[in-house]
Amino acid sequence: MNWIRLTWHSFWSQKICRLLLISSLLLFLPLCIGLALLYSGYIPKQYQLPPEFPLFYSHPQGKEQLAKFSDLFIVILGLGICLLINYLLAFFLEKRWPVLCKTLLWTAVLIVGLFAYNLIRIYLLVI
């Protein structure tokens, strides 16, 4: 248990690791809160997403591109699992491979940033 505390202290003491971890969490939490607000109905009807909206752009145009609102939960859950795996790998590999640690943290920020950008584009496209 002591090695976890020492590893965490070493990990958190590096400014770049701390900055990347906080920035990816600050991008991820509003996505979760926004999706919860959309699902709960606190947002007026005129700004809510329709039952089906385009999400799968790699599929041919038409019905194959449309996704249900519940598919966003699966995508955000997958994003959260990906972030958790990146954080854990970066945490445990920081001593041995510091460059890999920073690469994993940059990847987490990039993944969350791209997902947030695409979700905002989808929302603005539909609304």
The gap between the terminal CA atoms of the chain, to the nearest Å, is 50
Digitized pLDDT (tens) for each residue of the chain, 127 residues in all: 555 555 556 666 677 777 777 888 888 888 888 778 777 777 776 777 777 777 777 778 878 878 787 788 888 888 888 888 888 888 787 778 888 888 888 888 888 888 888 878 877 776 6
Q: How far apart are CA 127 and CA 121, in angstroms?
A: 10
In a domain? residue 26: yes
Q: What would the two tokens of residue 10 be? A: 């070493």
Domain holding 16, by residue range, is 2-35+66-126
Q: How far apart are CA 75 and CA 67, in angstroms?
A: 11
In a domain? residue 41: no
* Number of domains forming the structure of the chain: 1
In a domain? residue 101: yes
In a domain? residue 6: yes
In a domain? residue 56: no
In a domain? residue 40: no
Q: How far apart are CA 28 and CA 79, in angstroms?
A: 9
In a domain? residue 23: yes
In a domain? residue 60: no
Cα atoms in the 13 Å half-sphere on the side-chain side of 85: 8
